[in-house]
Amino acid sequence: MDQLTAHDPRRIGPFEVLGRLGAGGMGLVYLARSAAGRRVAIKTVRGELAEDQLFRVRFAREIAAARTVSGFYTAAVVDADADAAVPWLATAYIPAPSLEDLVTECGPLPVATVRWLIAGIAEALQSIHAAGLVHRDLKPSNVLVTEDGPRVIDFGIAAGVSHTRLTMTNVAVGTPAYMSPEQARDSRGVTGASDVFSLGSLLVFSATGHAPYHGANPVETVFMLLRESPDLSGLPQDLAPLVKACLRPAPERRPSPAQIAAELGPHLYASGDGGEDDSREWLPPSALALIDAKRGRRTPPPPPAQAPIPDPGPAPTPVPAPVAAPVGATGVDPRTEAAPKVLLPGVPSPIGPGVRVPAGEPAPPVMPPGTGWVRKGGAHAAPAPVAQQAAQPAAQPAAQPTHVAQAAQAAPWRPWRFRMSHDVWGSPVVADGVLYVTSFEVHALDIASGRRRFRTGDVAWALAVADGRVHAADGPNLFTLHAADGSERWRVALDGWTYTLDAAGGAIVAGTRGGGVQVRSAIDGSEMWQAKDAQQDYENSLSGPCVLGDSVYYYGGGRLRSVELTSGQLQWALPLGEDVPSRPVLHRGVVHVCNGTRVLALDEATGQERWRFDAPVALFTSPVVTEEGVFFADYLGTVFALDTATGSLRWHVRTGGRQGADPVVLAGGVLLVSSGDTVHAFDARTGAEHWRYAARAELAGVPASADGLVHVGSRDHSLHTLDLATGRLRWKLDTGGEITGTPVAADGKVFAFSKDHCVYALDAALGTATKQP
């Protein structure tokens, strides 16, 4: 369970919220408790669903039906409110691992265990179907395993989602690896037989450790589901007849949950005497240990609210902070944003095992035996024997002498890290010697010293930095700060909730929910023009309005529009169809855009098509355009290189195993593509593969490259730096959490965010090491 952030609610309906359990397709899930101390799991609804009135109607209907579901193998609905500003549903909290966790940790389960689990899930489906519901998302993570049987959760909710407008915008309802073929074609008309197909898929997963359909990505998985036979490798022969019956393509030929339970019953209780419950005997010891460990966890009380931390002045006296852990060391300093940490090689971590430091309190250094840090004017000198330290006077909080401050400023730059009180969002923004970080508020960190210059007093959901100004939006309000000291220049209320900002040419372009485009002066915030016909299906920073040259580009009503930046005059509108295009790219008077499976090159002035290229698979990200070519990758991992002038195909190559839609990166004639846990490097001229590098887990964001180096973040909690020419590892930093967003390389430094709430500033070539003066 994760701790609550400042943005999370403290109460939902009559329940006190204790922490975050996770996130699902519908929204966030919280652990909460009633006035009587009963714990519940509360699932909240995402904003775009909450704004859909049709969803609210169906959600209320499904809640009413879900309340009627009874049965030993389901998690009971406790309370709900479909009319709340943020609709929610509370079910009984079950402290147990999911089937997914159980199989992942313990491996494929014995035949007897699988039969016992599937019989319980089949009984749960009988209760769900009897209430007139279809689960629609029966998968390993939606089945909790206790010592006395499985519990099916999230029943009846996917039905409400499947009938909303989201279904019409290519948002999948269900999980491809476990859904039925008819659900993959149209989730709105499925019956209980679809859940039986999913039950057969669960059976395969439980007995083999893999799903019957497992492509490299969701699109490929659906393709396999509709056209290929299931993968039953490793399935015990005793279970094969039931699996094949459940996975029949024709829904009417599949057995009912009651028939499945009846078939499995004789295997389970033929030798039972009807006496004492022996349910624990069905689970292997490793599974019971995992269940017992989950049950033994206790929820910590919510942390007390922290008092605001006073900001240092615009020009604080540099005071080097305590030394941090070396590369690969564990343990993260839990201090707050007020003090950055200098990273030095070969020095023990200042936080020892089991030592907890309250937020806002200084962390006691942990030193090698017989040594310690000698304070001289507030700076940390080299380690000295403990005996010598006795004669040293205690550090005083008085201001440093001027010559000490000057010496500190003249010292070589050292890597540092800065700990936030909350999660860090997105990727770092670097401008004019300042690192801008979004952690609810915007924090401006001085790159030279690692100290914070200022922070905003408001939450920032969108951020843009340009021309010495910091522009941010807290939702309905747009405000601009002076980049030097954070002083507010102006503030205006916008007509709508801002989800993206772009700034250039003395203007700010805001995308607001509901199809709004608002353009304001960056100087005083006065309105220049606005439009209300932008697309509403994918309102995010990658598909929102943007500034290129002297024009604003946005998509809506099936058309890509080019509008003059200052006057708002329409220059041209090109019909593109229903597929939302990627963010356009401008190169030498030509606008390049990916739209569905097409790449289009358009005249900047007229919108006239110069050329087009048709790809076999959907393209979700912008191309990279240079004189060397037009480069992009499709969803399945094929990388393409086109001629910039004609759009003709120069080469293409498959990477395989691609998990998402990250763009390609071009650096020094090398094309970098992230695919799953691997970075591929191709020659931009020929497509020949130079090298590939595999991390220990899936990559986060896209590679960042500068000065012959490649920086890659990974969910293995590490930042990897590679040689661009050879792909060899130069250095690696292990942090206390997953690397988030995309690293940024600039001026011989690399900046990265981690889920340990830390911002890292490192020497691009040496990591935590420092160059000799």
Question: Which active-site residues does the annotation give?
Answer: 137
Give the strand order in the sheet containing 507-512. 498-504, 507-512, 516-521, 527-531
d(CA 99, CA 664): 36
Q: How far is CA 693 from CA 76, 712, 737, in A?
A: 47, 10, 21
Is 702 within 8 Å of 665 (Cβ atoms)?
A: yes
Q: Which of 394, 414, 444 is nearest to 322 (CA)?
A: 414
Crossing angle between the packed helical segments 257-269 and 111-130, to the nearest 10 degrees: 140
Is 252 within 8 Å of 208 (Cβ atoms)?
A: no
Residues with Cβ within 8 Å of 521's Cβ and at least 6 positions away in sequence, in order, are 506, 507, 508, 527, 528
Residues with Cβ within 8 Å of 728's Cβ and at least 6 positions away in sequence, in order, are 722
Helix (H) or strand (E) holding 22: strand 15-23
Q: Which of 440, 420, 424 is nearest to 336 (CA)?
A: 420
d(CA 694, CA 691): 10
Q: How far is CA 265 from CA 204, 239, 380, 418, in A?
A: 19, 14, 71, 59
Q: Is 139 annotated as a binding residue?
A: no
d(CA 417, CA 752): 10
Is 642 within 8 Å of 648 (Cβ atoms)?
A: yes
Q: Please name the residue that has the structure tokens 């199989």.
A: 103
- Sequence-ordered strand ranges (E) for 569-677: 570-575, 585-587, 590-595, 598-603, 609-614, 624-626, 629-633, 638-642, 649-654, 665-667, 670-675
Amino acid of residue 570: L
Is 151 within 8 Å of 92 (Cβ atoms)?
A: no
DSSP per-residue codes, 101-135 = HHHHHH-SPPHHHHHHHHHHHHHHHHHHHHTT---
Q: How far is CA 509 from CA 105, 478, 611, in A?
A: 48, 11, 29
What Rg do the C-alpha atoms of the chain give, in angstroms? Answer: 29
DSSP per-residue codes, 211-256 = -S---SSHHHHHHHHHHS----TT--GGGHHHHHHHT-SSGGGSPP
Instruction: Indicate the SS3 state at residue 304.
Output: coil
Q: Please name the residue that has the structure tokens 């309905």.
A: 476
The maximal CA–CA distance of the chain, rounded, in angstroms, is 88
Instruction: Indicate the SS3 state at residue 264.
Output: helix
Residue 176 DSSP code: T
Q: Which of 654, 663, 646 is nearest to 704 (CA)?
A: 663
Binding residues for ATP: 43
